[in-house]
A and B are shown apart, each in its own frame.
Chain A
Amino acid sequence: MIELNQINKSFDDKQVLFDIDATFLSGKNNLIIGASGGGKSVMMKCMVGLEKPNSGTIKFDGRNLLTLESQELRDVRREIGMLFQGTALFDSLTVEENIAFPLQMFSQMSISERRDRVNFCLKKVKSRKH
């Protein structure tokens, strides 16, 4: 569960988020709609710790993201997946390498196991026929 409590965020003198309170329950789908430039992306970035709010608290399963040490924050982030607006794929890597990247970093899979998993994922999105 992610809980936002009284979140305020401003860039210089432009306030983007005003006293945001929200709760995102585990297993539920949530939709955030707002005008362009209304602070949706900033709120998302605050929720994963990429931006620091000026005030308020953000709790991820009871852990306050704003008071965690950098290693603890990294551990929490490993439980989060985020798709960026501009996709943020590693342009120096191939499609296969991009998919295999987290497996290479965080799993003990062998190269052939990783290749199988990548092929499985690509087949799911019909990028690879066989």
Chain B
Amino acid sequence: MNLKFFYYFGHYLLFLKGMLSRPEKMSVFFKRLSDEMYKIGIGSLPIIAITALFIGAVTTVQTAYQLVSGLIAKSVIGTIVSDSTMLELGPTISCLVLSGKVGAHIASEIGNMRISEQIDALDVMGINASAYLALPKILAGLLMIPLLNIIAITLSIYGGYMAGELSGILTHDEFITGARDTFKGFTLFFSTIKAFTFAFIITSVSSYQGFYTTGGALGVGESSTRAVVYRSVLVLFFDYILAEILL
């Protein structure tokens, strides 16, 4: 394996370790944390809502299309929509969408600060720049992305229900029966664990890539692009790892 991987992985871990210090001023830290929570949480709500509603709707229509046997109850569609949404579509698709929206914003914001020497200015003032810039973003992601996941799951199931009802694929009762009958609390717990893990990947990898941007505007573009690729691959990789470990 390429030794560069170990170099960058070690560098990434040192970046994370460097953040673990007491913030210079707690009031400033909490202000920054609440700003980031608003940006990540409220700012991402529209795109997450639209994505989730359509994913649920499409899952209902496509599942109905494949259920050609009359021996299978239509309520199974409700089961498939709710379970697949909680297990996979909710956390993974919404986190891939967030990876593009939130991650790109973080990487380019911090990258721009690096090339315009704003991070150097923080360092010279004796402020732990990684803790000041990246820590609130990572914590905000860890708090808000699992919440967005819950909203995505709810809206996705609602989208599936609406698509079934409006197109006459199945009735209200059939959908609800299917969704409720096989519900397991662990499925939702697993989904939250996934969202939590993906949130950490999205925010920390983006912060790291932005923090070590080199060059000018071209460098910001390169680090943002690199961050998108790494985040997406890592989200999919950990999606599989978590499924193997926990299911």
Contacts and interface: CB of A to CB of B under 8 A. Distances in A.
Q: Which of B21, B24, B28, B123 has the most CB atoms of chain A within a 10 A radius of its CB? A: B123
Contact of B124 (A70, A75, A80, A91): A80
Given A104-B25, A104-B28, A105-B25, A74 B116 contact: no
Give the contact-size bracket for chain B.
10 to 19
Interface stretch (B99-107, B125-133, B187-195): B125-133
A86 B116 contact: yes
Given A50-B123, A70-B18, A78-B125, A88 B116 contact: yes
Give the contact-size bracket for chain A.
20 to 34
Given A91-B116, A104-B25, A105-B25, A74 B121 contact: no
A80 B123 CA distance: 11
A78 B126 contact: yes
A92 B116 CA distance: 12
Given A104-B25, A105-B24, A106-B24, A91 B118 contact: yes
B28 to A, nearest CB: 6
A84 B25 contact: no
A71 interface: yes
B130 to A, nearest CB: 10
Interface in A43-59: 45, 48-50
A34 interface: no
Nearest to B132: A105
Given A105-B28, A106-B24, A74 B126 contact: yes
A105 B121 contact: no
A100 B39 CA distance: 24
Contacts of A77: 123-126
Q: Which of A74, A77, A85 has the most CB atoms of chain B within a 10 A radius of its CB? A: A74
29 contacts: A45-B120, A48-B123, A50-B124, A70-B128, A71-B21, A74-B126, A74-B128, A76-B126, A77-B124, A77-B125, A77-B126, A78-B125, A80-B124, A84-B117, A84-B120, A85-B117, A86-B117, A88-B116, A88-B117, A88-B118, A88-B121, A90-B118, A91-B116, A91-B118, A102-B125, A105-B24, A105-B25, A105-B127, A106-B25
The 3 closest A-B pairs by CB, nearest first: A78-B126, A88-B117, A77-B126
Interface of A: 45, 48-50, 70-71, 74-78, 80-82, 84-86, 88-91, 102, 104-106
Interface of B: 18, 21, 24-25, 28, 113, 116-118, 120-121, 123-128
